[in-house]
Chains A and B, each alone.
Chain A
Amino acid sequence: MSFIPYYSDLVHPAVLISSIAIFHTFIAHFSIGMGLYVIICEYFAYKKNNMVLLEYTKKNSSLILFIATVLGALTGVGIWFVISIIAPFATSTLIHNFVWFWASEWVFFVIEIVTILLYYYLWGKIEKKLHLIIGIIYFISGYCSLILINGIISFQLTPGKWLETKNVWDGFFNPSFLPSTIARTGFCLILASIFSTLIISFLKNSDIKKYTGRISTIFIVVGALFCIVGTYLWVQSIPENVRSQLSGGNTTLTHFFHYYIITGVILIALSIILELIFYKYFNIVFSIILLCVGMTAFSYFEFTRERVRKPFLVRDYVYANGIPLDKIDEINTTGILEYTNVILKRKELTDVQKGELIYTSECYSCHSINGFNNLRSKLEGLKAEDIFYVIDGIGYNPLMPPFVGIESEKKYLAEFLQDRLSNK
């Protein structure tokens, strides 16, 4: 018996989770990269005794405080809330297995928040060296939380030896762990650079615009190198059959991956040109353009990563619709309706209502009837008998889990789909 199925007419769960997750990770990567950015600027400001640069650094640190500790922290909690609602079983697995990694991540999170508060409010109130040290601790703890979370996220894609050993360290240091850490380090640097242009665009003095533009360019270039190496290694680290989906096997996925690369290249080229050559004219419009292109590139990467994992939430362990692989035999004999947590008494349901329930527990996590990845475009006009055969075969699509349950349930589902698709 599993959880109560979650259903909403308002937003599809896949849309809900991807929007909040992309927004959050965008900010999270920025806040780590910016940590490095401000300590480097602060260091040079002291060394060259440059008060303007110091003022610039302080403004950048305010971006961390007002964006990362509010929007960043809370959308992070938001992701947690959302996944526990739309994929409770998989979330439960991730939480139980990695509890000490989450708990350690919490420790770094506390250090991060406390040090960024101290760093910001103690500008000019304590000795320079100590202030810089607090900044360094902020950056290190932020980076450590990235490493921890990335271990868990990459585990979902490539659980590796964990599937046999169930040893948590095998799961954490999985095949795509290192490549994605490298790529994400690159994202941090790139995002710090483009966020810093928010402050650069308001600088009046053109010397300082030039100088800070250069620092930001260095961040972009180094970040790009990390990204290229990381993405290349990441593609190598995923299983062979999945990789082929990425390079032509599945059209949508291949497009996502290509758009990620194209928008990424545009972002890097554009930032270098603007920050290095047109620094004098740099204004908020440029900055917003960079942020938008950055957000787009970043979204395509996260889309790719999400879709490459299909049809699983944890590869070879639990499907995206929350059905664990080791329960399939059981469900195929007793039925999905037996497994699904139904609060209404099952006997009271009509066949179509039963079908709806099956749809909610097996298909809804990836499809909707009319909106997101809708079934209307795929099945409209078909009779229940034809839909029955389509359902029979969905397991052959590499992005979809097979239908699980007994024969009569396939019929209920087909009847429900025909019923729903025949009336608008």
Chain B
Amino acid sequence: MLNTIAVVPNYTEMLTAPAVIFQFLYVFTFLLHIIFVNLTLGGIFSILLCKYIYKTYNDSVYNSIAHDLSFINTYNISLTVTTAIAPLLFIQILYDKFFYSSSIIIAYYWLSIIFAIIIAYYFNYIYKYKLFYLKFRIAGGTIFMVIVFILFLYTTFMLVSNTLLSVNPEIWKEQYKNINFLNIPTIIPRYLHFLIGSIALNGIFICIYSKARKSLNENIKTKMFILGKNMFIYATLLQFIVGFWFLFSHKKMIWLNIVQGYGLILIILTVLFSLYIIYLFIKNGSLLLITIFGILTLILMVILRRLTEVYYLEPYLKNLKFVSHYQFSALAMFLILFIIMLVLFAYLFKCIHKNRI
């Protein structure tokens, strides 16, 4: 054990505000980010699914749905990137010693996600605006979205790997010599858990979108809604299996910690909420309730993720050294700007709504 603890750097770091503030901001901004990650990844999945249904059953409505969804997907990518910055910043305040170390170990893979995202982004634009030869082919270009999907699968896999590697310093030594992603504990169930979650969350989003877009015709709307509903229900049923597989793939010490502590409550609530959403869908219940419970489930999962992270890092945390050097004036600057931003957006969207021509 001593030998492995030694690989976590041990210099003293400066804390410019009480640690709880950073912990809160980290979890809060991560939640914002993961929503858009899910919408992007699930979005591409649903586009491909529609393309598949269109090709097999020759139902052109699904082609229109695919196109419509690709239109909003570039916004989702933009927001995914924008919201990524904040949690990335705050995790560095708390855990840079872990996070940088794991980034160094998988350096090239980690850097390559930048290129993957750039290419995926442009390919999504090409598909959306039907650029180049796609102009002449109304239903063409699926290959672009297939590539986008592969690139984002790759990106998210690297993100999951880096996160997991960062909380497992005891495997740094072997991974530094020779990277083998499949040897990172819990990687497969965790990644699957995340993918399936994306599909479920995107299902709810598609339902909301089908109701919110006024310009769509009724036929498209109905089919879109059913698509979203089925995505949620099937993904969630599958998630019950994968979720528990993931839970028990942790080291015994960790999963015991989870089920003997708050984790148990979080898990029970998650299962109950998900079942309730499925019930609402089947009974054609309120979409507002579905959305609220969908987001609540996501919040529970983000908290559970955080809890697990702490369990993993616990043996190392006591060796971290911080010295407080609070900068309340700079913190105030950030908070004020943040509030200005929220007010500005609210005001702008109101104005845009009023001034449409």
Check if A and B associate: yes
Residues of chain A whose beta carbon lies under 8 Å from any beta carbon of chain B: 1-4, 6, 8, 10, 66, 69-71, 73-75, 77-78, 80-82, 84-85, 88-89, 91-92, 95-97, 99-104, 106-111, 113-115, 117-118, 122, 124-127, 130, 134, 137, 166, 168-169, 324, 341, 343-345
Residue of B whose beta carbon sits closest to that of A102: B89
Inter-subunit contact B118/A71 (CB<8 Å): yes
Minimum CB–CB distance from B133 to chain A (whole Å) comes to 19
Contact B348 A118 (CB under 8 A): yes
Cβ contacts B57-99/A at 8 Å (1 or 0 each): 0000000000000000001001101111110111011001101
Does B172 lie at the interface of the complex (its beta carbon under 8 Å from any beta carbon of A)? yes
Q: Are A168 and B327 in contact (CB under 8 A)?
A: yes
How far, in whole Å, are A109 and B83 apart by their CA atoms in the complex?
10
A341 near B125: Cβ-Cβ < 8 Å:
no
Q: Which of A103, A110, A124 has the most CB of B within 10 A?
A: A103
Given A66-B125, A99-B16: A111 and B344 interface contact (C-beta under 8 Å): yes
Rounded to whole Å, the gap between the CB of B234 and the closest CB of chain A is 33
Residue of A nearest to B107 (CB): A85
Contact with B89, one of A3, A82, A103, A111 (Cβ below 8 angstroms): A103
Neighbour of B111 across the interface among A85, A109, A124, CB < 8 A: A85
Q: Please measure, in the bound complex, the distance between the C-alpha atom of A80 and the C-alpha atom of B111, giving whole angstroms.
A: 10
Check A126–B352 contact: CB distance below 8 A. Answer: yes
Q: Is the CB of A97 within 8 A of B16?
A: yes
B contacts with A, residue count (CB < 8 A): 68
Q: A130-B355, A343-B173 are in contact. Are A92 and B100 (CB under 8 A)?
A: yes
**Bound Cα distance A329, B101 (Å):** 25
B224 at the binding interface (Cβ < 8 Å): no
B residues 106-136 in Cβ contact with A at 8 Å: 107-108, 110-111, 114, 117-118, 121-122, 125
Residues of A within 8 A of B341 (CB): 107, 110-111
Instruction: Report the separation of the CA atoms of residues A134 and B122 in the bound assembly, to the nearest whole angstrom.
Output: 25
Enumerate 24 A-B pairs (CB-CB under 8 Å) in ascending A order.
A1-B6, A69-B78, A71-B118, A74-B118, A74-B121, A81-B114, A84-B92, A84-B96, A85-B104, A85-B111, A89-B11, A92-B13, A95-B93, A103-B86, A104-B333, A109-B82, A110-B82, A111-B341, A113-B81, A117-B75, A126-B355, A126-B357, A169-B329, A345-B3
**Known pairs A122-B352, A168-B327; A8 contacts B107 (CB<8 A):** yes
In the assembled complex, the CB of B20 is this many whole angstroms from the nearest CB of chain A, namely 15
**Is B330 part of the binding interface, using a Cβ–Cβ cutoff of 8 Å?**
yes
Specify which chain A residues have a CB less than 8 angstroms from the CB of B340 in the assembled complex.
Answer: 107
Question: Are A96 and B14 touching (Cβ within 8 A)?
Answer: yes
> If A4-B172, A84-B100, A104-B333 touch, does A114 touch B88 (CB 8 Å cutoff)?
no
